[in-house]
Structures are given as C-alpha cells and as structure tokens.
Amino acid sequence: MSVPTQFQTAPPAEPPTEAPGARPGWWPMIRPLVLRLHFYAGVLVAPFILVASVTGLLYTIAPQVEQIAYHELTHVTPAGETVPLAEQVAAARASHPDGDILRIDVPPAADRSTRVVFADETVPDDYAMSVFVNPYTAGVEGKVRSYGQWLGFRAWLDELHRNLHLGVFGRHYSELAASWLWVVALGGLMLWIGKGRRDRRVRRLVTPDPAATGRSRVMSWHAVIGVWVLLGVLALSVSGLTWSRFAGANIGEVRTALSWTEPTPATSLHTGGATDEHAHHGSSGPAAGVEDPDAVFSDGAGVDGVLATAREAGLGDPLYLVPPADGASAWTAAENKRDWPTRYDAISVDPATGKMLDRVDFADWPVMAKLTDWVIGAHMGILFGVVNQLALAALAIGLIVMTLLGYRMWWLRRPRGASRLRFGRPVPRGAWRRLPVPVLVGGIAVTALVGWFVPMLGISLVAFLLVDAALGAVRRRS
C-alpha cells in the first residue's frame, strides 16, 4: 500500500510533451487531485491502517499460541476403542447443564478430543462455550469460551483486530481502514508510476534509488515497498470489506443476487428447507419447540447414526455435526477443512432414520463463492498454513513501515529552519477546479456510487471535504 506517498511538495511543472496548443494528457489533469486525495487519506486514515496492521501482525501468531495454550484440552492419549459419541455428548452436558448444544466437532485424529459447543449466556454475544471430552473415557477435559473455531486467546486476538474489544462501535475502525486501503494503495501506485515515467527510470518502480537522499530517499523506500505488497494489500482490503458491517451487507446482497453464495444441503424434513450461507462455519440454532432438545442425540438415528451416515457418504475430517434447528429439521454433517486443499462437502441427515436427505459438494459451489472463501482464508492465515502466516506477517510489517515512512515524509515537509513543532505543508488546494467539466462530472458520479456501496469511505470522504473547505475559508479570511 502507498499510504501517504505524496507527502511531497508540489513538484515543478512537468515539461510539455505535446506540441504548442495541444490538449494535455489525462495524467497531468488528474495528478493534482490524486496527489491531494492520497495526502489527506494518508494523514487522516493512516492511523487506522496502522492499528489494523499492528493487531493483524499479532494475530499471525494466534494458531501457534492456541495450540500451546490449549494443548491439554484439545489433545488426549489414545487408549483403545472410543466410547459412543452420544455418551461423550452426555458427559459434556453433565458438565455444562445450561444452554443448547450448537455443534459437535468430531475428533480429527486419534489423539484429539471431542469438542461440544454450547450456547452460553455468561459469554459475550457471538461467543459460545466449548467443552472438550476424552473420546476414550468420556471424561471431560475442561471447557473454554470460543468464537467460531477459535478458542480463548486466539478469539481475543481476533476480536482485537476486528473491533479493538469495543463491540459494534469498534468495528467502524477496521471497516474505515479496509475502505480506504485500496484507494490509498492504488492512488500511491498511480503517483509512483507517473513519477517513473517522467524520470524515464522504470526500474526505480521496484527498487529504491541508491542515489536519493533526504526526503527523496524516504519516498523511494515508501513507494517501492508499496509496489511489492500491492496485490496482498488489495486482497486484504477486499476480504476485510467482505465481512465488514456496512459494506459487507452490500457485498452480501450482490453475492446473493448473482448466486455467488455457498450452497448448503436442504434441512427441512417437509419442504426441502432453506439454506444458511455460513453453515460450513458451524452455526446453528437451538431445537425450538422440542420438549427435550438433547433427546435427538440418542433417539432415532442419534448422533452416532448421523456420524456413520457421514462417513458412509465419504465426508472426511475436520467434521462438524450440527443438530436439528427444530423438530421439523434434519441434522447437518459438514466438512470444515479450511486449509489447502479446502473441503466443504456437506449432507443433511434424517434424525429418525439416519438416511441422507440432501448433499452439496464443494465442487458444486459457484466459482465466486470458492474465491471468496479462499481470499478470506488467506486473510485469516489459514489457507496455506505457516507460509500463509509468514506472508501476512510480511504484509503487516510492510504496511507499518510504509505508514511510518509516510509520516516521516510529512515531517520533512516542514518549512526550512522551523524552530518549533510544526506540521508539514499540505498539498496545494484547487486540484478539482482545474479538471475539465466532463471529467469532473464523471469523477463525482463514480465517487458517489463507490461511496454509497462502501459507506465508511463515502462518509469519511464527505467529512474530509467539509474540513478542507472550512480550513480554506479560514485561510482566505486571514
């Protein structure tokens, strides 16, 4: 990303390349506007990007921390045959008598424990309580609050990155960062390419200038790092917007309208049922209207019958078993292998007979649904394991360094000989007034459309313009 690349003084006018009287090219017309937008976005939004980068860097170590911190809960010593899964669920219920059972995670290996996930009123919203059971003895190993798949500390780091533990209000910070990240990155790339074309040194686009000094040297490093991490930064921005509060809702509507959502097996025993876009993430509701919701784990096919049907259908590990949402719904058994190669094959199972009712394989997902899942998995550092984590750490460090270099460039824009703390000079005003009317009208239309679809971008841009106008009015009066 090129966070404030243009914390630079307005460069001297470029030498004319056209014949006298010829119309200037498109780049000289829009460059001042791109420069000013990049400057203000860098100065005002970069702090949010910096916080997101630091918390994202911390999150890259979460998988290893989770494995170490909860090893005694998640791992067991194999000891012969396992006891029936229904007995393990009963043991988990005995240790946690309150709350509906949302999901059972079948042990993915012989040395892993069974995980039973409960709804729990004592944990924050969107959290649950995970109880771990030894599959060989049905003894409860312990319990810890969880968020989706993540346990304890990893869930804490995830929430820190998402909302700084400030709840719904805190989500605005990460959405603001994701909303502007791609704008600042592409704007910085345009400015750097424009400079390279003027200097006729294309190699300087990807390598720092060893002869540069002072502010030019800082700019060179800032921009070159941005070029190298650009694709990763754009992927982070897009995937971050996918699950953001406002833009995420708009993206969800588009995906639904274009049939880009993840299909799931029908779960209704009577009508074919509805689908849940995020069923493969393990979400479920309680068995509403059922006198004893836990009876479904032993009555009829029971949870062991559902597991047997899933195995006969070829479903592998990790495997989630989601109990019926109500008396008219079926079980869902779904693979949840989120690392490469991903697997999300899922079936619905009749709770009375154990018969498979419907099936959806990952191969049948729309291409865009697959791409969305892969991009999100890469953003979370789980698609390619340790390599993915190292790449994310490098991206986060790159963003942090570029942001700090951007502010350093701004600092170096201070008036020469300044004897007290003063900010760097802003980019000159009036860039938009120099645009041809058709270009200006088209730009306003595109900006309005993007601002509507990405609300945090649109609202903050309007705020920038109002502040800029107010500062301009103050300067004119003085």
The predicted structure's pLDDT at residue 17:
43
Same domain, 183 and 49: yes
User: Cα separation of 96 and 114, whole Å?
Assistant: 15
| Domain-located, residue 326 | yes
Same domain, 211 and 302: no
User: Cα separation of 3 and 183, whole Å?
Assistant: 9
Distance of CA 123 to the CA centre of its chain: 23
Return phi, psi of residue 407, to 5°.
-70, -30
What angle, rounded to 10 degrees, do the helices at 437-453 and 26-59 form? 20
Convert the pLDDT of each residue in 84-115 to its tens digit.
Answer: 999 999 999 999 999 999 999 999 999 999 99
Helix (H, G, I), strand (E, B) or coil at 316: coil
pLDDT band for position 421 (cuts 50, 70, 90): low
**What angle is formed at CA 339 by the lines to CA 336 and CA 344, rounded to 5 degrees?**
30
| Domain-located, residue 12 | no
Distances (CA, A) of 271 to 121, 321, 333, 472: 33, 22, 19, 64
| Domain-located, residue 300 | yes
Structure tokens at 24: 């200037």
What percent of the chain has pLDDT above 90? 66
Same domain, 255 and 374: yes
Same domain, 300 and 211: no
| Domain-located, residue 435 | yes
**Residue indicated by tokens 């012989």:** 110
Q: Decide which of 98, 131, 163 is a domain's last residue.
A: 163
Same domain, 231 and 107: no
Q: Decide which of 104, 133, 163 is a domain's last residue.
A: 163
User: Cα separation of 177 and 397, whole Å?
Assistant: 16
| Domain-located, residue 3 | no
Residue 346's DSSP bridge partners are 334, 360
Same domain, 40 and 188: yes
What angle, rounded to 10 degrees, do the helices at 247-257 and 167-199 form? 80
User: Cα separation of 392 and 53, whole Å?
Assistant: 10
Same domain, 438 and 369: no
* 3-class secondary structure per residue, 194-247: HHHHHHCCHHHHCCCCCCCCHHHHHHHHHHHHHHHHHHHHHHHHHHHHHCCCCH
Same domain, 284 and 310: yes
Reference 82, options 8, 15, 158, 138; nearest CA is: 138
Convert the pLDDT of each residue in 275-318 to its tens digit.
Answer: 443 333 334 444 444 567 789 999 999 999 999 999 999 999 99
For residue 117, pLDDT beyond 50 = yes
Report the number of distinct structural domains present in the chain.
3
Q: Decide which of 163, 197, 219 is a domain's last residue.
A: 163
Is the torsion defined by CA of 168, 237, 149, 327 positive or negative? positive
- Between strands 331-335 and 356-360, the pairing is unpaired
| Domain-located, residue 460 | yes
User: Can you give the residue range of the structural domain that contains 367?
Assistant: 251-379
| Domain-located, residue 18 | no
Same domain, 55 and 72: no
Reference 157, options 49, 62, 50; nearest CA is: 62
Same domain, 178 and 45: yes
The predicted structure's pLDDT at residue 3:
40
Convert the pLDDT of each residue in 355-379 to its tens digit.
Answer: 999 999 999 999 999 999 999 999 9
| Domain-located, residue 69 | yes
Return phi, psi of residue 90, to 5°.
-65, -40
What percent of the chain has pLDDT above 70? 86
Same domain, 50 and 76: no
For residue 254, pLDDT beyond 60 = yes
Same domain, 192 and 236: yes
For residue 2, pLDDT beyond 80 = no
Q: Counting beta carbons within 10 angstroms of the beta carbon of residue 440, is it exposed (0 to 12), middle (13 to 18) or buried (19 or more)?
A: middle
